[in-house]
Amino acid sequence: MSAGPQPIADALVLFGATGDLSKRKLFPALYRMEDHGTLNVPVVGVARSDWSDAAFCQHAHDSVLAAIPDAKAAVIDSLLARLDLIQGDYADPKTWATLARTLKKHKSEHAVFYMAIPPTMFPTVAQSLASVGLNERGRIVVEKPFGRDLASAKELNTTLHTIFPEERIFRIDHYLGKESVEDLLVFRFSNTLLEPVWNRNYVRSVQITMSETIGVEGRGSFYDGVGTIRDVLQNHLLQVLALVAMEPPVGPESSFLQDEKAKVFAAMRPIDPAMMVRGQYVGYREEEGVAQDSTVETFVAAKLEIDSWRWAGVPWFVRCGKGLTANATEVVVEFREPPSLLFDEAGGPTPERNLVRFRLGKQDGVTFTLQAKTPGQHLDSQQVDVAVDFAAALGERREAYERLLGDALAGEPRRFAREDIVEQTWRVIQPALDSAAGTATGGVGTAVHPYFRGSWGPAEADRILKGDTWYLPAN
Ligand code: BG6
């Protein structure tokens, strides 16, 4: 059962307030909340940089405008009026005393502490919060990556649990805040059409693609210590996969949803490194902050398997990478072909396989690829798409970080990752990390295949499909 409702937060504390994530995502999200009338708390920025209040406000102002060029001046002004800046070294007890005083000034008892800081600093910051008693009633929001592998994720969970109970640790995966991703859950379980065929009897394979045209874009030094497997496969892609694969939750509470996801991962086999292909785009090693002999992957493709009654024997092919030819996040569920008897008689082509394609990127929607009669005398069929664009049909979605910040303030854990799920995903991924690092082979990792920017990654990625092809994203 769920832990019960949590109090609504009365302050938001932003660690890493002058950093990249705050600039790109958090200030624009706060602006949107202000605009929608949902930001009703003071926002206290904490940063090591030697910034003045004025410089901080200017930074917030510029961050909003960079993301939302037509932002309304009056809304920005109201947002800026909520901001307070605390500067100081995280290792200095005075910083924490000042934070406690500032929250007291705001009469805050239930603050949300958002860690937009490097993961190595999570334990220090959590311990420092405890040193001034701010862990007693507050919640923390922890950004990904949550650990570097299974062992460090477990260690981080153990450390955080000595300071905050699980129900007050909100692990962010911004894909869970995307309405298009959440629609996987709603679309599957609000339509009876899909459920009877959503299993190994009818589904031949599932492909999940997350492709980005951008390279590492100034994040070279971060990315070179992480790579694609840790950056997006362990979290975003596996979370999407779980929503496609899971059983219907028995109720809307967070714990029911998390339980079903946990079952998917518990039934998932650890990645077989022989069924994984890593790639690196040509030019990556020349990016700032990247080692000249780096073998870190900017692309990975892998086959996953779920040993459950619903999915045993169905391959789940996933691929993700940077510097690819299109920006797309898609799930393609491929159905088995019908028996060809009718079409044998006509001597025509066998119908192609049906697909359900969930488009989760910017123009999100669903496309059913079906067969319909080709005009003429014969009983031939050909492919037709039945497609819906959700924004056009239903109106614009809200942005992921706005929704997640709102949830964190409201104390709603449903769109955050639970401890056991994060650990299970690392368990599944661990052999991929070990083989990439060459842990068992004296440091000689699996090959990283070069590919050109603007391609679909290394040709070797086709190998894991065993004769099939990757479906090209629709947009
Ligand atoms: C982040 C990764 O979590 O997700 C980035 O660190 C990636 O490397 C980004 O570019 C993609 O997010 P979105 O919302 O643009 O698909």
pLDDT in tens, 373-420: 999 888 888 999 999 999 999 998 899 999 999 999 999 999 999 999
Residue whose C-alpha is closest to residue 141's, from 180, 177, 108, 107: 177
174 C-alpha vs ligand 1 centroid, how far in Å? 8
The catalytic position among 59, 174, 236, 449 is: 236
Contact 211, 237 (CB under 8 A): no
C-alpha R_g of the chain: 24
The size of the chain, in residues, is: 475
Q: How large is the average pLDDT for residues 140-151?
A: 93
| Atom nearest to 212 CA in ligand 1 | 10
Tell me: pLDDT of 1 over 50: no
236 is catalytic: yes
Residue whose C-alpha is closest to residue 140's, from 158, 159, 155, 126: 126
- pLDDT reported for residue 467: 84
Burial string for 108-144 (b: 16+ CB within 10 Å, else e) reads: bebbbbbbbbebebbeebbebbeebebbeebbbbbbb
Tell me: pLDDT of 367 over 50: yes
Tell me: pLDDT of 343 over 80: no
Q: What is the DSSP letter of 74?
A: H
Higher pLDDT, 3 or 445: 445
Tell me: pLDDT of 3 over 60: no
0.85 exceeded by pTM? yes
Average pLDDT of the chain, as a whole number: 94
136 C-alpha vs ligand 1 centroid, how far in Å? 33
Q: What is the 3-state secondary structure (H, E, C) of 98-125?
A: HHHHHHHHCCCCCEEEEECCCHHHHHHH
- pLDDT reported for residue 145: 84
Q: What is the DSSP letter of 196?
A: G
Bridge partners, residue 112, by sequence:
12, 139
